[in-house]
Every structure is written in structure tokens, then in C-alpha cells.
Amino acid sequence: MPKPSKPYLQIPIVECGDPLVPIPLSTFARQTPHAYAALGAPYGQASPFWVRSQVLQALIEAQAHLQLTHPHWQLLIFDAYRPIAVQQFMVDYTFAQVLQARHLQMESLSDIEQQNIWDQVYQLWAAPSLDPQTPPPHSTGAAVDVTLWDAQAQQSIDMGSEIDELSARSHPSHFAYLAKDPHIEASARTAAQQANTHRHILHTAMTAADFQRHPGEWWHFCLGDQMWAWLQQQAHSTTEITARYGNIEP
């Protein structure tokens, strides 16, 4: 099936050679067991808790900014580095999950029906491209999926939806609109406002360290890859910006 061409993939990459490094467990909270590894995703000798060294420094800076206003909160690292084989595994897994949720069989779908499902999958997942000019963001070591963790209460902060949820609730502004909807109950508006506030806190901390947020995912932040450069360029339309991170294999 044809894969979507996302606008950030037109950004040129000038690889800087910054190495992959482990995200220290002592500094951040993390998702354990790792969600994709638990499904059997083929990491080999790689770790989902690796990032480029400059990205790690930015994560440290983002958490320090977060703790200026919320001293007991941490960034929880859900996912970071993905080999392209893992990206392929998760794309295929998500497609199969959509089929299962809808009680569909692959062999009974028309080409158009298959394409409609792939379009939904690729709203959430980048194409697992082997082309060095169009790497999936996570395969560059420059993208992280993060949420908030209350280290004092030992619990995650309510963000309104789960990471990787294939629904409208994943959009960063979803609860901002819902909080203003006069047609829903006051308690639902209050919950929506809380989720929106938490998303804003996360966004503020990450962007203070120069990260950019994925336009359609509240949890996905990047620094130095094609998506980051493209988003930077949207904000500064007169400036030509290149990506400094391409695909990297351990």
C-alpha cells in the first residue's frame, strides 16, 4: 500500500555524528517493562532508552525546567530509539490490532478499505523507510515519547489519553476544545481542563529545552531531526533549517 509523504521528509539532513547514549535510570522515570519490547519487537543489541547525547542533555534541561514549578515530578520516558526493524514491527502490529478491534479479516478487505486502515496507522506511526533521506524520527535517536510522573506519589500524571492511542484524544489540543464545550457535563469539562493543563506543563518544559512537539501527538517530542527542523522552519519561515540527525544504527 502507498505510504504517505509527510512534509518534514523534504528537509535535508546534514548528519553531525552525535552518538547514541543511554538515558540514565537514576535521572528519569521510565516505562518498564518497555511496551514494544514486551510485544517482541526486534531490538537486538539496541535499547529503546537510547538517544543522541545532545538530546539527553536537552532532556535533563527540560526536567530541570519542569521541577522549577513541580519539584516532585519527573519526565517518564516511554520510548526513544527505535531501529527501523522495530518501526516496521510496530506498524504491522498496529494494523493487525485495528483489524482485530473491528473484527475484520485481511483477505476480505478491498484495496480501498486496506488503504483507509493504513492511512489511520500512518497518522500515528512514521513509515519504516530504509531511505537515508527519509528516516523514521525515532530511528534517528532524536525523538522521545514522554509523559509526566509524580515521584512522590509514585504514579503517572493524568494526560487524558494513553500514549499511542489511535483516536482524536491523542491530538495535543483535544482537551482544550473539550474543556470549553458547553454541551458536556461540568465534571467532564473539569477533567478535560486538568488533562489539558498537564499537557501544557509537559509542552512548556520540553520546549524550554528546544524540543518541538509532534503536531498530532501530545507525547512525541523531537530535537534535531527532520520533523524538528520542519517545525522550526514553520515558526521562522524566512530561515532555511537542516536536520542534524539521520538514521543511526548501533
* Binding-site residues: 138, 145, 220
Nearest one of 34, 32, 21 to 60, comparing CA atoms: 21
Find the catalytic residue in 15, 61, 217, 240.
217
- All three cell numbers of 185: 457535563
pLDDT of residue 96: 94
- All three cell numbers of 247: 538514521
pLDDT of residue 250: 84
Q: Is the Cα torsion angle 90, 124, 28, 46 positive or negative in sign?
A: positive
pLDDT of residue 177: 85
pLDDT of residue 4: 61
Stated as kind and residue range, the H or E segment containing 113 is helix 111-124
Domain residue limits, the chain: 14-235
Q: What is the pTM of this model?
A: 0.95
Which CATH architecture group holds 14-235?
A: 2-Layer Sandwich (3.30)
Question: Active site includes 240?
Answer: no
pLDDT of residue 101: 92
Question: Rounded to an integer, what distance in angstroms lies between the CA atom of residue 145 and that of residue 36?
Answer: 13
Question: Rounded to an integer, what distance in angstroms lies between the CA atom of residue 181 and that of residue 190?
Answer: 11
CA distances from 82 to 27, 57, 140 (A): 21, 19, 8
pLDDT of residue 133: 95
* Binding-site residues for Zn(2+): 138, 145, 220
- Per-residue pLDDT for the chain (250 aa), expressed as one digit of tens each? 555 679 999 999 999 999 999 999 899 999 899 999 999 999 999 999 999 999 999 999 999 999 999 999 999 999 999 999 999 999 999 999 999 999 989 888 899 999 999 999 999 999 999 999 999 999 999 999 999 999 999 999 999 999 999 999 999 999 998 888 888 898 999 999 999 999 999 999 999 999 999 999 999 999 999 999 999 998 887 678 999 999 999 8
